[in-house]
Structure 1
C-alpha cells in the first residue's frame, strides 16, 4: 500500500504563513528584546507583517484560476471568496493594530480630584496583566510606564486563525483554525486598563461559553464523520447525496452549526456578546466585532454552500427562524440600552440576522452580497468602536471611557468632527442612503427576495426601521441636547489613529456613493471551489 505524499503549495499559503511567522517573531521579541525597545519593535513588526500579507493576498488572487485551488491534501481551499475574506480580515487587523498601539497620554489638569497629577490618555490596556486589580503592583507598573506588548503577537495569532478559518476545506482544519483564532481573543478580552474586574469577567464568560461551543462543534464533526466516513466538505456532500438516511448527519450538522452560529453571534447563541463587548478593551471589541464575523461567516458560507446542498430543504427553514429571531432580538433589545458599547453589541446581533438573509439566498448573488456586507460592516464597526475609545470621563476622574449614553448629551456640540463621524457610522448601521449600510442591506435583501425569501426581507426591512430609532436617538442626543458637567471629553488620538478613523469614515461614505467597484469585486469572488 502506498500513501500519497503531501502536496503543499507554499505560494498559495503564503498570506497565512506570513502572519504566523510574524506572530512567532513577535513572541521572540518578547523573549529576547529589552523592555524599552519592545513596543516600537512590535508595532513595526505587526504592521509590516500585515501589509506584506495583504500584498501576498493580492498576488495570489491574481495568479489562481477563477475556480480556485486546493492544497495540503485538500484540507485548504484557496479560491476567490477565501482571498476576498482574507484581505478583509487583514485590512481590519491593520486598523485594529493601530488602535491597539495607541498610547497617547496627557497630564490631568485637575487640581482637586483624586486622580490629579496622573497621566490620562488612550492606553486601553492594563500595564501588568498578572497584577491583582487595584493592587500596589498594578499601581507601580502604571507609574513605571509599563505596557502590554504581548498584545501584538496575540492579535496576529488570532488573525492567522481567522485567515485559515474560511479557507478550511475539511472539518478538522476548521476546528483547529477556530481554536487558534479564539484562544488569543479570550486572553485579550481580560486586559482592560480600567474596570479590570468587568474585563476579567468578560474574558471568563467568553472562554467558558466558547469552550462549550467548541465542544458542540467537535461533537458535530464526530457525528458527520460517522455518517459520511469523511471530513472533507466535498466528500460530505457526495456522501449525503448518495444516501437516503441522513438522520445522524442532520444531528451532526445541528451541533456543528452551534459552534459556527456562536462565533457569528446569532440568536440564541448571542448571550456572550453584550457582556464581552462591554467588558473587553474597546480596540479589542472593535477587532472582534468585525474580523471574527468576517472569518466565521466565511466558514459558515463554505459549510452551507459546499457541504450541505443535499440537505438544502432541511437547513434553510432553520436558518430562516434563526435569522428572524436574530434580527428581532438584536433590534428590540438595543432600543432600551443605556450603555453605548452594549447598544452597539446588540446592534451587531441584529446585523448578523441581516447577513444571514444573504446566506439563506443560497445563490451566487447571495454569496456576493454577503461578501460586500461583511466589508462594509467591518469598516463601520471598527470606526464606531474607535470613536467610543476616544470618549473619556471629564478631567479629574480616572480617565476611563465614558460609555454612559446619558452623558453623551451635547457631545457633538463640543466635538463636532467626532460627532459627525460617529453619526456617519450610526447612519450606515441604520441603512440610510448614501452610506455603505444602505447598499449592503439592499444587496442582501435583493438576493434573498430573488431566492424566494420575500417574507424574510419584509421582516428585515421592518427591523431596519425599528433600529433606525435608537441610532437617530444617539445623534439627537449628541447634537440637539444641551450638555452638562457630566459631558465627557474627547481625547485626541495620535496621527495614525486619526488617519485610521478617517479611512473608516471615508470607506463608509464611498461604498454608499460609488459601491460598484467593490460590488463587482465581490461578484467576481462569488465562486467557491468544490
Structure 2
C-alpha cells in the first residue's frame, strides 16, 4: 500500500485567508450566543478587526513568492496586491454595511423569512433592527475572494468562486425595503451564477482532457496552472479541447466581471440588492474576478495568447459599447452605475489582454482606483432618501445641488472621475491601461475605449446638469445627514479618488513592483 504524502502547507502565507475564515465562523457563534441588542456592534467590530488583521498579514507576507498547499495556492506579487486591495475595499464596504443612523435598523431586513407585504413585514421595515448575519456572510465572501486571487489550479479557483458567490446570493436578498425587487435580484443572480459555474466546471473538464492528451504530467494530466502552461506551450496535440475548455472557463469568469454578453444580471442585481452590498459587489467582486482572470490568462494560457486575444478583444469592445450606450438610456441611478460598471469591465479587459508587466500593473491600479470611487458613489446613493427609502429615480435628483450642495458636489466629483476627467483617478487609470495597450500594439482597443468613454460621459453629465441646473420640485428628496461610518467611507473614497488622480505614482510603482506571477 502506498504511503499518503501530505502536502506542505505554509500557514503564514495563508494567514489572511485563515483570519477572515476564522472571523466568519466566530461571527456565526456571535449570532448564537450574544444578546440581540449587542450583536450589531459586536459583529461590526469583529469584522473591522478581522479585515485589519488580514491586511497586516498581507503586509507581513509582502516579500513571499511561493506556491503552497500542494501547489493549490500561489502567493506572489499580484496575489498580495489584490488581496490587500480587496481587504481595504471590504473595510470601506463594512462601514457602509454597518451604518444604522441614516435609516432605522440599517439597509437590511430583520427577518428574511417574513412574508413580503404582511403586517409583520411592514412592522419590521419600520422598527426592527436589521439582520446582523450580513457580517459573517460578508466575511465569508471576502475570504473566498482572497482565495480566488491566489488559486493556482482550476479546482481551487472553482471552490473559491463558490465560496464568495453563495454569500453574495443571500446578501442580495436582504434589502429592508423593496423586498420583492431584492429577492428577484437574488434569484436572477443565483440562477445565472449557477449556469456560469457550470460552464466553468465543463471548461475545467475539457482543459483536463487536453492536458491528459498532451501528457502534461507524469500521471497523465492535471488542472494546476503549471501543468496547463506546459501542455499549451509544448504539446502538439489537437487544440480542440484546449480552445473549448478556455472558452467555457472564460464564460464563467466573464460572468463575474459583468462583461457583455454575460452582463444581463448586472442592472437588475445592482438595483435590487441593498445599496451597501451593491457597492461591495461593484468594488470587491470586480477585483477578485479580474484577479482570477489575470492569473488564468498570464500564467496558465499565456502560450495561447495569439489565439484568445482577438476573441477577448472583441468581447472587450462589445462590453465597452454595451455599457456606454445602455447607460445613456437609464432612468435609475443604480442601473446607470450598473451599466457604468459594465463599461469599466471592458476597459479593464483591455489591460488584461496586454500580457506584459505594464498591462498587469495598470489593470491592478485601475481596479483599486475604480473600487474607491464606486464605493463612495453608492455611499452617496444611500443618503438621497424620501419617506419610502432611497430615491434612485433620476427625476428625483433634479435640483439636488440646491438643497444639498455638499453631497451633490461630492457626487459630481465622483461622476467626473468615472468620466475620466483629469486630476481624478479615473483619468490616470484609463491613461495607464490605454498606454499599456498602445505599447502592445492594440491600437484598435484604445480607439474603441476612447470613443466609448466619450459616449459614457453623456449620462454622467446629464446627472450633473439635473442636480445643479434644474429647479428642485416637491418630489426632490432630501439628503440624510450621514452617520460617522458613512461619512468615513465617503471621505476615504473621495480622498483616494483625488490623490490617485493628482499623485498616482506611489500606487503605480507598488503595482509595477508586484506585477510578476510566480510560475
Both proteins in one fold, TM over 0.5: yes
The residue matched to 1:77 in structure 2 has which SS? strand
Structure 1 Cα separation of the partners of residues 105 and 335 of structure 2: 20
Match of 2:117 among 103, 110, 134: 134
Match of 2:276 among 280, 283, 286: 283
Which residue in the other structure is 1:382 paired with? 375
Which residue in the other structure is 1:311 paired with? 304
Which 4+ stretches in 1 moved above 3 angstroms?
Answer: 1-4, 139-144
Deviation per CA, 1:160-207: give whole Å up to 9, x if none: 001000100000000000000000000000111111100000000000
> Please, what TM-score do these two structures have when normalized by structure 1?
0.94
Structure 2 Cα separation of the partners of residues 476 and 391 of structure 1: 17
Structure 2 Cα separation of the partners of residues 364 and 418 of structure 1: 39
Match of 1:401 among 367, 390, 393: 390
Which residue in the other structure is 1:223 paired with? 206
Match of 1:251 among 244, 248, 272: 244
Which residue in the other structure is 1:95 paired with? 92
Structure 2 Cα separation of the partners of residues 144 and 336 of structure 1: 37
Which residue in the other structure is 1:185 paired with? 168
The residue matched to 2:57 in structure 1 has which SS? helix
Which residue in the other structure is 1:337 paired with? 330
Match of 1:362 among 329, 336, 355: 355
Are 1:506 and 2:503 counterparts? no
Structure 2 Cα separation of the partners of residues 140 and 334 of structure 1: 36
Structure 2 Cα separation of the partners of residues 136 and 339 of structure 1: 29
Which residue in the other structure is 1:442 paired with? 431
Structure 2 Cα separation of the partners of residues 2 and 490 of structure 1: 67
Structure 1 Cα separation of the partners of residues 306 and 127 of structure 2: 62
The residue matched to 1:70 in structure 2 has which SS? strand
Give the drift of 1:4.
3.2
Which residue in the other structure is 1:112 paired with? none
Deviation per CA, 1:449-508: give whole Å up to 9, x if none: 111100110110011111111111111111111110011111112112201101100000
Which residue in the other structure is 1:232 paired with? 224
CA RMSD between the two structures: 1.1
Instruction: Decide whether the 8 Å contact of 2:104 with 2:129 is kept in 1.
Output: no
Match of 2:186 among 187, 203, 227: 203
Deviation per CA, 1:52-83: give whole Å up to 9, x if none: 1111111111x42xxx2110011000001101
Give the drift of 1:3.
4.1
Instruction: Decide whether the 8 Å contact of 1:121 with 1:491 is kept in 2.
Output: no
Structure 1, 136-145 or 84-93: larger mean CA deviation: 136-145
Structure 2 Cα separation of the partners of residues 130 and 275 of structure 1: 22
Instruction: Decide whether the 8 Å contact of 1:122 with 1:390 is kept in 2.
Output: no
Structure 2 Cα separation of the partners of residues 104 and 146 of structure 1: 11
Give the drift of 1:144.
5.4
Instruction: Decide whether the 8 Å contact of 1:220 with 1:252 is kept in 2.
Output: yes
Structure 1, 362-371 or 310-319: larger mean CA deviation: 310-319
Matches within 5 A, 1:460-479: 460-479=449-468
Structure 1 Cα separation of the partners of residues 232 and 257 of structure 2: 26
Instruction: Decide whether the 8 Å contact of 1:266 with 1:352 is kept in 2.
Output: yes
Instruction: Decide whether the 8 Å contact of 2:47 with 2:94 is kept in 1.
Output: yes
Which residue in the other structure is 2:67 paired with? 70
Structure 1 Cα separation of the partners of residues 304 and 125 of structure 2: 56
The residue matched to 2:61 in structure 1 has which SS? helix
Are 1:213 and 2:206 counterparts? no
Are 1:392 and 2:385 counterparts? yes
Structure 2 Cα separation of the partners of residues 265 and 157 of structure 1: 22
The residue matched to 1:524 in structure 2 has which SS? helix
The residue matched to 1:12 in structure 2 has which SS? coil
Instruction: Decide whether the 8 Å contact of 1:361 with 1:450 is kept in 2.
Output: no
The residue matched to 2:305 in structure 1 has which SS? helix
Structure 1, 305-314 or 506-515: larger mean CA deviation: 305-314
Instruction: Decide whether the 8 Å contact of 2:93 with 2:489 is kept in 1.
Output: no
Structure 1 Cα separation of the partners of residues 477 and 150 of structure 2: 43
Instruction: Decide whether the 8 Å contact of 1:77 with 1:529 is kept in 2.
Output: yes
Structure 2 Cα separation of the partners of residues 286 and 140 of structure 1: 27
Are 1:145 and 2:128 counterparts? yes
Instruction: Decide whether the 8 Å contact of 1:128 with 1:148 is kept in 2.
Output: yes
Structure 2 Cα separation of the partners of residues 177 and 407 of structure 1: 40
Alpha-carbon distance change, 122 to 233 in structure 1, aligned in 2, over 3 angstroms: same
- Specify every segment of 5 or more residues in structure 2 that has no aligned partner in the other structure, as ranges: 212-220
> Please, what TM-score do these two structures have when normalized by structure 2?
0.96
Give the drift of 1:145.
2.6
Structure 1, 473-482 or 154-163: larger mean CA deviation: 473-482
Match of 1:163 among 146, 150, 153: 146
Name the count of aligned residue pairs: 508
Structure 2 Cα separation of the partners of residues 525 and 143 of structure 1: 48
Structure 2 Cα separation of the partners of residues 261 and 147 of structure 1: 33
Structure 1, 251-260 or 238-247: larger mean CA deviation: 238-247
Which residue in the other structure is 1:14 paired with? 15
Instruction: Decide whether the 8 Å contact of 1:128 with 1:146 is kept in 2.
Output: no
Give the drift of 1:143.
5.8
Structure 1 Cα separation of the partners of residues 434 and 124 of structure 2: 52
Structure 1, 487-496 or 297-306: larger mean CA deviation: 487-496
Are 1:484 and 2:484 counterparts? no
